[in-house]
Structure 1
Amino acid sequence: MEKPENKSPWRDPLPRKRADFHVGMAVWLLLAVAAGVGLWGLFSYFPGSLGSQDNQMSFVHGIALLALISSGLLFSRRIEFNNVGRNIAIWIGVAFVLILGYSYQEEIGVAAVRVKSELLPGQPSVHGEGVITLTKGSDRHFHVTGLANGSRINFLIDTGATGIALSPADASRIGIDLSRLEYTRIFETANGRGRGAPWRLDTLSIGPIEFRDVAVTINQADMNGSLLGMSFLDRLGSYEVLGRKMILRQ
């Protein structure tokens, strides 16, 4: 009569644990060797990278953290090599993407600016000191958001307008008391004769382009928005229109 197999829960599990420990140790040593070779290559390619004490401390902390995390391999009950290989491949891919992004950060920045200008035509795209680019909106006009005395104002750039005109709503937004204005200026518009009140802004800025003591006219009638006319464009160093883009240089 065959002796029944002993399936007691109190069987000695030490052989299985010892085997798992040996496998974990082998994997850990393999990864340690690979990390050492990689560090040697990095130090050869970037000599003097550990020259400062701060860099040395950061390196020691990183190695200690890596050793602590990877030591879990020594005590893992079962290692699924398929999962380990997949996770390693994922992290290698993440590292590659980060390195690629760092290497092409300037090109990515330019692309991001272009995307932003297309999605938000009223937001100026800055290109160097005192240079901005605007994108034509869906109404085939150039709009831009600027600051008048520190308050955000949405402007329409109108080359057919002589000066800078603020709508009554925008003038109130920047703290101008409309009841104290004198509408002494008379001008012709597409809708007939209009009146405006002269005013001077302390500052007017579009992105990095800023002017001080700027003469404007506050329109008496309601407007859909404020206008930047030729008096603003003439204060620029230059401006040009290239297709759907307008480039302003201070």
Structure 2
Amino acid sequence: MSTMDYGNLAYLVLLGAVLVFWFFIQNRQSLNKTLQQAAVWGLIFLGVIAAVGLWDDIRQNAQPQQLVVEDSGRIEVPRGPDGHYYLTLDINDAPVRFVVDTGATSMVLTQEDALRVGLTEEDIIFFSEAMTANGPVRTAPVRLDDVSLGPFHDTNVRAFVNEGEMSKSLLGMEYLNLFARLEINGGRLILER
């Protein structure tokens, strides 16, 4: 900040202090009511700031996650506010939310999702390794009995469980290649068989 900016800031602070002092002097007879109204306006201001800060989360929850058009064998997924596409697959009748990752080769489950779909700790043996953007990570190859996305069912699907920390499971190209058509157009991911 330059000297001129500091001068302007000092002027505005002084002007604001004078206005606040004048306001309280004018309303000293009803100071309690004035403080109550100031508190209400302050809470309204904080509420607006919270709504603006949480708008992306609110919009993502209000947005339809995926649309299945069964008669044409088509699934359309809108792009999320963060720019990613998310699909919810039923694995062994347990819903798992995936982020679509065309840069990933395989389907990769978080350890929590792997346990939720019925895999046991004995099923998850970390003896293979995968290269990620953050370097090598140990993985456990597994087979998933039943994977369904809308009307599409696949059995004995190969996947990996990641030993590292992941916020969401990844849906890689091995699974996406099971579809005859994969298209990203107009902010929508379209899958067809």
TM-score of the aligned structures, taking structure 2 as reference length: 0.64
Corresponding residue number in structure 1 for 2:139: 196
1:159 and 2:102 correspond = yes
Q: Superposition pairs for residues 1-250 of structure 1, below 5 Å?
A: 119-126=62-69, 128-250=71-193
Q: Does the C-alpha gap of structure 1 residues 211 and 243 become closer, same or farther in structure 2, counting only changes over 3 Å?
A: same
Question: How far 1:139 sits from its partner (Å)?
Answer: 0.7
CA–CA distance in structure 2, aligned partners of residues 130 and 212 of structure 1: 18
Mark the CA change 1:180 to 1:236 in structure 2 (over 3 Å): closer, same or farther. Answer: closer
**Moved segments of 4+, more than 6 Å:** none
Aligned residue pairs: how many?
Answer: 134
Question: Quick check: which one's strand share is greater?
Answer: 2
Cα deviation code 1:18-50 (max 9, x no counterpart): xxxxxxxxxxxxxxxxxxxxxxxxxxxxxxxxx
CA positional deviation for 1:127? 5.1
Structure 1 residue identity aligned to 2:87: V
Larger radius of gyration: 1
Cα deviation 1:71-129 (Å, max 9, x = unaligned): xxxxxxxxxxxxxxxxxxxxxxxxxxxxxxxxxxxxxxxxxxxxxx9943433332524
Q: Distance in 1 between matches of 2:61 and 2:122?
A: 40
Question: 1:189-238 CA deviation, whole Å, 9 max, x = no partner?
Answer: 11111011011111111111221110000111221011110001111111
Flag the 1:144–1:124 CA change in 2: closer, same or farther, 3 A.
Answer: farther
Q: Percent of counterpart pairs with the same letter?
A: 35
Judged with a 3 Å threshold, the aligned counterparts in structure 2 of structure 1 residues 243 and 173 are, in CA distance, closer, same or farther, namely same
Determine helix, strand or coil for the equivalent of 1:141.
coil
Q: Which amino acid in structure 2 is aligned with residue 144 of structure 1?
A: L
